[in-house]
Structures are given as structure tokens and as C-alpha cells.
Amino acid sequence: MRKYKAMIISALVTLGISSYPISAHAIDNFENKLVGSENSYLRRDVWGSSYWGSSNIREWLNSTDSVVKYTNLPPSSQKLGNTAYDMEPGFLTTFTKSEQEGIAVTNHRVHVNFHDANTGGKHGGGLQRPPAHVDNQSLLFQLPNIEREKMDYFYRNEKDKVFLLNIWEVYDYIQKRGLPLTKSISKSAKNKNSYFNDTIPWLTSTGYAEQASDNVSTVGWEDSATRISRAQEAKGVVPAIHLKPEYRLSNNMLAKDMKIGDEVKFGTYLGEELVWMVVNKSEDNYPLLITKEVIDIKPYDTPGDDSYLYSNYVRFEKGDVDITNEPFQMREEESDITPPVFEVLNREELNKRQNKQFVLKVKVQDSESGLDYVQLPNGNRIKTGEFEYTFAENKEYNFVSKDKAGNYRYSVVPIGNVNTPSKVEIKASTEGWTNKDVSVEISSTNDVGYEGTYKQDTRDSWLPMWQNFTTYKDKRVKITGNVEFINAKREPVNETIGVGFSYIYMGNVGSEYTLRRTWTRANNFKLIDLKGKGKVHFEEIFKIPDNYYKDLQPWTQIDVPHIDHDFTVEYSDLKYELLDNDDFQVDKITLPNGREVHQNAYRDTLSEEGTYVYKVLDNRGKETEKTVKVLIDKDNPVLNIEGIPNTFTNKEIELKLKASDSKSGVSRIELPNSSQTNQEEISYKIKANGSYTFKVYDKAGNVTVKTIQINQIDITPPEVSTNVSISQNKKEGFIDVKATDSQSGVSEIVLPNGTKQRESSVQFKVDQNGVYPFVVFDNAGNRKEVNVKVNGLEIPVSSGIQKVEYTLEGAINKGWTLYKEPFMIMNEGITTVKSRVYDKAGNISETKTRVVKIDKTKPNQNQIKIELTE
């Protein structure tokens, strides 16, 4: 536990009538403690932390300092490699003072995971946000109950100038307004991070913990509204701020006059003006803004340590605006903030098998502003609130309802009850360019099941998933086989084993539907009862429950923890057989070479280029035909990388990549930051030492992988130690300077007199007290300046000059004479001038001599004779 007293305020700005610190806050007394550390399952040493309060991203976003201070481990290159940002200035650094002062302090709600909540990190709430089991563009579908339970999530209230939206705010302020969740990346952010994709998922402040990891909720995936990401993974940053109502923008508009949906330029980052969108307004006219684009790509937090409860540097005493109750306002002059209600009228039929197709009966209504339109899964829009929609395929279908006030509801109806007729399927492992033999699978869609023998020593064993060609609701499966106890590392007690299925089932929360995975056994055996019995035969008839939706997967289980390998059993002659199957089957398969095969399924292998035609006749007289074109390229593409340095540098490295493929052509280059491009020549920036892997694929699937090791980047100045020693008589001293540099090594030391020593240690003699500057350089060009103060020398104090005497000898002679003022020597010839000085103590200096030669003879024959005399 850390204790702090009277911390120094590092920066203060005047905000209205009050003074708030931007990067630090004077704290009289407070104790900081770790949060979530009591549970090692979080693995923050490996994955980083989702806890917002002392996160790296929070402290960076709120900082105006050129060097950001971090409570926990800083986001350094040693921990994060190329995505480090500990050497970057704070986000607000490039905002003007007026802009910094125009940002309000927001008291907002942050969602914490259940580990942090249960170790002192929460202010309230009793639930963690639910897991998202399936991908979909609707947040309401992915996170069931989010509307009802949003205020019940574990939360902590925090005060920030700049923050990230939580997952509910993303729904409320963005998706409920009909705005897309996917965001493009700013040009400057793409260039800075060498990122080539157009979009990237972006960070929220909602934490989510699983049994063995800590995660951050991210949104804006191309195929899904939300997923979870590790805190150390670099994702998009989309800042949120409130502006003070009276702040005047560059377009001369007051912030309080902005309307929801407006866009405005405010502040700069990476040399570009930032464009913000107004996504909400408080009742007292504080507009809430988020950036229109992803402004940078950064990890949420650094791995390696636990999180402290408080930030030492972002601590505001009070907020200007409070949104802890998630105040949602619709556009001006609209009081309706509730989306339309979507209702399936024949809901009970969703769990009943339907032959060939299913007709859904829907009612959409809005009791306030009225329904504007409903967008159907096929993209058509209708104005009627009650309608029917016909489905012939099992999958999830999205409906978008909009009311006249601008509220949107994204409703998803999972259709999994259509008993589609069996058919012939001809599937090629690939078509077009390939780098391997092509496998062509011919079968009927009702040809499902499993037969096999295997040993199991883990908790779960997953067998091949059955095709989702039809619904398996209420259908019977016969499961037969033998199970045998093989060995154990400990004596069994109450552990059981069994066979069964796992599948996705459908439920509902109000008018919203949910999909979850479940596991159910068809039988149970106690391990202790199987011991010594040899093979035990079983035969079960298992009926698939009517809540089945999709992804039926045979599964066997030993009832032990996931990490246990204490027991081994063997299943032999295990067979899963679908009993309620139709009589559809394949009668004849005609291969490309004309040969006929009379069996229900067949696999063909194609090893040469060409065009192949397959014909399949089923027992109902229908012939199915498929043409497979094969183009073979087994040569790997070429990847050249230039710009790898062979000397040390303290700057980022820019690599030049060039990919080529002489046959099928380059498909893409995959980069170390997970982005990819189909360009063949690109640049890639590296800011930290480490291992970097580049992959280039051709259109046939061949891949060339190159991993380079960068060790030449050194941005750390040398370490310098000094020591001053004084002679016994205190008339002179010595400054010893010793420099070390663990990366590139010491290059030279520049002494106070300008002399350069190519050594790592030097000794410098001094005879005067004072400050002596030394500059140390390493081989990467980093410099460290040190000033060494010497004050131990005893320098005699002068009594002062009494008189100066001189004498002349040669062309003019003069005995020792008191010097009073400058004088002239007029006589031609050589004159020697001698001088001496008396001090007031009677001491006489050494005699100094100067020779003067005067030549008054004119040059002869235009020549000048010059003699030099010491």
C-alpha cells in the first residue's frame, strides 16, 4: 500500500471560477491500494488491466504534460514493443490553453469486472456485463438484458476531462441514434502506426473478466458490434469530452448552441485538427462529443503489475457535468427517447419445426412519436407496423426500426426451425488458384453422424460439428459404444463421465432474443463404478431439445476441472446416428473422367490444373452439376525488406517492403500490427527493439514469412556518475566522470574545456571553484548533460596591486621606472622591455620580457626585409 502526502500540483488551469488540475491534484492525505490483486486468474502480469481508474490510457488522455506521469507501470517499449507510448506527450498537450479550459470535468460511470468489484473497486452494481456468445451488429442482441440491467452492472464513478464511453453509452449515444459503430482511422494515425486497414475496433471503458484473463470491451468490429480484447492489445482510441456551455468555438458558435448530430473542429492531434460529433447534451447544455475518427492506436494498459485503486495524477475534486445516470436526450424539440417496440406475434412457433419455410408475424409500434419505418433483412423499408416475413434458411435476421424522433432499435430474430429438404452438396476445398491438391467432397446434406474410437484424459472432448443444413429440433439420435476406465493419477470419488451434445440454444429477454451455448449429457457413469469393469457398453436414444438453434456438436466429458489430467478413459466403437432422417440419398456420381460411382458420399482429389465437371444423380431423379476450376501455384512469393540498420540509432526505423509473385500474384502482406494490405510496396515504421514478423501471401495460398530482429534502437541517454576529490593542500581538485550505457555503449565525453574524450571514464583537473559542465554521448546519439559543482578549493585572496615597474635596454636605456600610463618608443633599433608587479603585501612577480624592433630605413629595390625576433 502506498501513502501520499501533499503531492505537488504539476499543472493548474483556471476553469471558470474554479481551479482544477489537469494532470495532478493536490492531495492532503490518501491511501492507495491495489485492486483485483487477490485473484491471480486475472493474469494482469501477462494481459494488462481493464481497470480504468489507474489505467495508462486514462492518464495519457487527461495529461497536458510533455512527459506523462503514470501510476502503474508506464506503457514502455520493454513491455509493449512498437505500441509503447510512455515517451509521447499527453493527449491534451497540443490543445491551446483556451481549448483545455473549455473542456468540462465529467463525472461518469465506468464498468468494472467482477474481480475488481469484489476487491473494493466498485461503487455499486451487482452484475458483470454479459458475455457475447455470437457475432452480430446489434448490441442489444449480443448483450442481452443490457437495457434492463445497465444500471446493475458493477460500476465506479470517475471524474475526467477526457474519457472513453462505456458499453452502454456506446449503445445509447451511438447505435440508438442510428450511427455506425465502425470508425475509420485518421490519416495521421494510420501513418504514425503504419496501419493499412481502413477501420479498427475501438476501446470502451467497460471491463470484463473471464476465469483466466482480464479483458476490455471493444466495439466497431467489421462483422460484430462488440468483442473482448486484452488490455495490452493496441486498439483504436475514440476520446469523449463535454464542452462548457459558454465556450466559444472557432466557428464563433457557443457550445450550448450545438445540436445533437453536429460536427465541429476542436483541438489538434498529430498535426491535424480533430473533428468531433455531438452525440448527446445534458439538461444544462453541456454537449457530449466523441471524435468522428479513430485518432490513434494504443494499448489500454501495460502488463506486468496489478492496478492501483486511484490514479495519482488524474484526481479532480468535483465535476462540472454528471452523467452517472446515463442521461439520454433526443434531438432538439423531441421528448421521445424510447425506440420502437419490436414484437414477434407467433413467437411460440419459433421452437416448432417448419417444413421448407417459416412465416414470421411481426408487430412494431411506437406510442410516442410514432413509427417512421422498418428496414427488413433484405434491405427494403416499409412504413407499416404489422407485417409478415418469410424465411427459407436458418440464420439470424436483422430488423431495424426507427421512430419519428430518431430512435433506432436493432432487433435480431434467430430462425432455426426450418426443416429444409435434403440436397446434394459438391464442395471443393478451394477453387481457382491453389498451392495444394484440391479435395472435392460429394455428399447429401442429411449424411451426418460420427463413428470412432479415442482416449480422453481432459475435461471435454469435442467431436466434429454436424452440418446446419436443417433443424434438429425434437429429432432422435441413437448413441452407442463402449467406455473403459484406463488409468488414474488419484483415486476417483464422485467424478462422472458421459456422452452427449453441445449446441447453441435460443432464449428471449422481453422482446429481444438471445443465443447461448449449452451442454447436455445423454448418460452418466461414475468413474469409481467403471474401475476394473473393462469395457462397459451403452446405448442411448437422445432427443434434441426444442430450444435447439444451431451448431449441434457431439461431445464427451469427464467431470473434472479444465486443467486436470488425472483420469484416462477410452471410448470404442462410439457411434452417433440420426434416426429421424429422410430417405434422401445419392444414386450415382459421375466423375470428370466419366467413371461412375454408386455410393452416398465420395471424395475426389485433383492434383493437376484444369477444369473438372462433376454430376450427381439423387434418388429423386434430380441431377446436380458443379464445375471446379483448378489453377496450381506451389512457388512461394518473394519478400524483400530494406532499411534494417547495422548501426545504433535513437530514431524510429522505416523499413521498405517489396513483395512479388511471378505466377498467381501477390494477395496480401500481413504486418506485425495485425493490419494487412494488398499493395506490393510499402513502408513500415519501427519504434522499439524486438522481433517483427512479416508475411506475404500469393493468391494460391503460398506464404513467405520473414522475421527480423531489431536491436539497434536506443532512445535512453547514458547513465553518468561523478565524484569530486580535493587535494590535501586544497589548491587543486579532480572531477571523476564515469558513464555507462547498456544498449549502444558510450561514445564520448565532452569536457568543460571542449575537449572530447572517446572514453567511458575521465578525470578532469580543476584549480577554481565553480560549476563544470560535462556532456556524455552514446553511440546512438543520445546525450546526457551533467553539471558538477566544485566548492572545496581554498583559493588565496589577493591583497591587490601596489605598483608596476618597467625597464628599457638597447636602442634606448632606462632603469626601473614606475609605470603610470602607456608610453612610446621612438628610437630605431632593438629595445628590450622588462616589467614586474608588486602587491600590497610586498610580493614581487616574475619579470616578464618583450622585444621591440623599430626600422626606419626605406625598402631597397621595392623589397621589404622582415626579421622575426623573439
Q: Which three cell numbers stand for residue 359?
A: 412465416
- What's the whole-number mean pLDDT along residues 199-221? 92
Q: Which three cell numbers stand for residue 599?
A: 455410393
Tell me the helix, strand and coil percentages in the chain, rounded to 5: 10, 45, 45
Distance in angstroms (rounded) separating the CA atoms of residues 384 and 374: 8
What local confidence, expressed as pLDDT, does residue 5 receive? 35
Confirm if 351 and 547 have CB atoms less than 8 A apart: yes
Q: Please determine, for residue 865, whether its predicted confidence score (pLDDT) is greater than 70.
A: no
Other beta carbons within 10 Å of 843? 11
Q: CA-CA-CA-CA torsion for 188, 189, 190, 194, nearest 10 degrees?
A: 110
Distance in angstroms (rounded) separating the CA atoms of residues 760 and 737: 8
Identify the three-state secondary structure at position 777. strand
Q: Could you tell me the sign of the dihedral formed by the alpha carbons of 588, 594, 595, 601, in that order?
A: negative
Q: How far is CA 551 from the centre of its chain?
A: 31
Q: Please determine, for residue 863, whether its predicted confidence score (pLDDT) is greater than 90.
A: no
Instruction: Spell out the CATH class of 638-710.
Output: mainly beta
579 phi/psi in degrees, rounded to 5: -85, -45
Q: Which CATH architecture has domain 341-419?
A: Sandwich (2.60)
Distance in angstroms (rounded) separating the CA atoms of residues 770 and 792: 10
Give the amino acid at 431: E
DSSP 71-106: SSS---HHHHGGG--TTSPPGGGGS-HHHHHHBPPE
Residue among 308, 309, 306 nearest 42 (CA)? 306
Q: Which three cell numbers stand for residue 722?
A: 561523478
Q: Which CATH architecture has domain 719-790?
A: Sandwich (2.60)
Average pLDDT, the chain: 91
What local confidence, expressed as pLDDT, does residue 563 receive? 84
148 phi/psi in degrees, rounded to 5: -80, -35
DSSP 156-217: EEEEESSB---HHHHHHHTGGGT--S--BBPHHHHHHHT--SSB--EEEEEEEEETTEEEEE
Distance in angstroms (rounded) separating the CA atoms of residues 801 and 845: 11
Express as a percent the part of the chain with pLDDT over 70.
93
Q: Which helix (H) or strand (E) holds 114?
A: helix 114-116
What local confidence, expressed as pLDDT, does residue 198 receive? 95
- pLDDT tens digit string along 170-200? 999 999 999 999 999 999 999 999 999 999 9
Strands 770-778 and 783-790, sheet pairing: antiparallel
Give the amino acid at 235: K
Cite the DSSP H helix spans in 317-404. Answer: none
- What's the whole-number mean pLDDT along residues 338-353? 91
337 phi/psi in degrees, rounded to 5: -120, 10
Identify the three-state secondary structure at position 60. helix
Confirm if 720 and 784 have CB atoms less than 8 A apart: yes
Q: Which three cell numbers stand for residue 752?
A: 568543460
Q: Please determine, for residue 27, whether its predicted confidence score (pLDDT) is greater than 50.
A: no
Q: Which three cell numbers stand for residue 285?
A: 447544455
- pLDDT tens digit string along 585-627? 999 999 999 999 999 899 999 999 999 999 999 999 999 999 9
Confidence of residue 867 (pLDDT cuts 50, 70, 90): very low
What local confidence, expressed as pLDDT, does residue 40 receive? 59
pTM for the predicted model, two decimal places: 0.82
Confidence of residue 38 (pLDDT cuts 50, 70, 90): low
Q: Please determine, for residue 57, whether its predicted confidence score (pLDDT) is greater than 90.
A: yes
Classify burial at 736, counting beta carbons within 10 Å of its beta carbon; exposed 0-12, middle 13-18, buried 19 or more.
middle
Q: Which helix (H) or strand (E) holds 97?
A: helix 97-102
Confirm if 409 and 400 have CB atoms less than 8 A apart: yes
Question: Cell 630605431 belongs to which residue?
Answer: 828
Question: Cell 445497465 belongs to which residue?
Answer: 150
Q: Round the CA-based radius of gyration of the chain to a whole number and report it.
A: 40
CATH superfamily of 423-443+586-632: Macroglobulin (MG2) domain (2.60.40.1930)
Question: Cell 462505456 belongs to which residue?
Answer: 166
For the ranges 266-280, 676-690, 810-824, the lowest mean pLDDT is seen at 810-824
- What's the whole-number mean pLDDT along residues 498-526? 92
Express as a percent the part of the chain with pLDDT over 90.
76
78 phi/psi in degrees, rounded to 5: -65, -30
Q: Which residues pair with 692 in a beta bridge?
A: 708
Residue among 142, 105, 110, 136 nearest 123 (CA)? 110
Distance in angstroms (rounded) separating the CA atoms of residues 663 and 666: 9
- pLDDT tens digit string along 377-390? 999 999 999 999 99
Instruction: Please give the sequence-ordered ranges of beta strands (E in DSSP) within 293-337, or none if there are none.
Output: 296-298, 307-308, 321-322
What local confidence, expressed as pLDDT, does residue 730 receive? 92
Q: Please determine, for residue 303, whether its predicted confidence score (pLDDT) is greater than 90.
A: yes
Distance in angstroms (rounded) separating the CA atoms of residues 14 and 21: 9
Distance in angstroms (rounded) separating the CA atoms of residues 268 and 204: 22
Q: Could you tell me the sign of the dihedral formed by the alpha carbons of 583, 588, 591, 596, in that order?
A: positive
CATH of domain 447-578: 2.60.120
Distance in angstroms (rounded) separating the CA atoms of residues 819 and 836: 10
802 phi/psi in degrees, rounded to 5: -90, -50
Residue among 572, 601, 607, 577 nearest 589 (CA)? 601
Nearby residues of 794 by Cβ (< 8 Å), 6 or more positions away: 730, 731
Q: Which helix (H) or strand (E) holds 78?
A: helix 77-80
Distance in angstroms (rounded) separating the CA atoms of residues 436 and 424: 25
- What's the whole-number mean pLDDT along residues 459-475? 91
- pLDDT tens digit string along 653-664? 999 999 999 999
Higher pLDDT, 290 or 432: 290
Give the amino acid at 739: A
Q: Which three cell numbers stand for residue 291?
A: 471524435
Classify burial at 482, counting beta carbons within 10 Å of its beta carbon; exposed 0-12, middle 13-18, buried 19 or more.
middle
Confirm if 99 and 132 have CB atoms less than 8 A apart: no
Confidence of residue 856 (pLDDT cuts 50, 70, 90): confident
Confirm if 376 and 413 have CB atoms less than 8 A apart: no
314 phi/psi in degrees, rounded to 5: -120, 90
Q: Which residues pair with 275 in a beta bridge?
A: 265
Residue among 400, 391, 339 nearest 370 (CA)? 339
Nearby residues of 115 by Cβ (< 8 Å), 6 or more positions away: 36, 38, 39, 41, 42, 209, 214
Q: Which residues pair with 408 in a beta bridge?
A: 402
What local confidence, expressed as pLDDT, does residue 801 receive? 86
| Residue 264 Cα distances to 189, 284, 510, angstroms | 19, 20, 39
Give the amino acid at 853: K
Confirm if 231 and 47 have CB atoms less than 8 A apart: yes
What local confidence, expressed as pLDDT, does residue 843 receive? 82
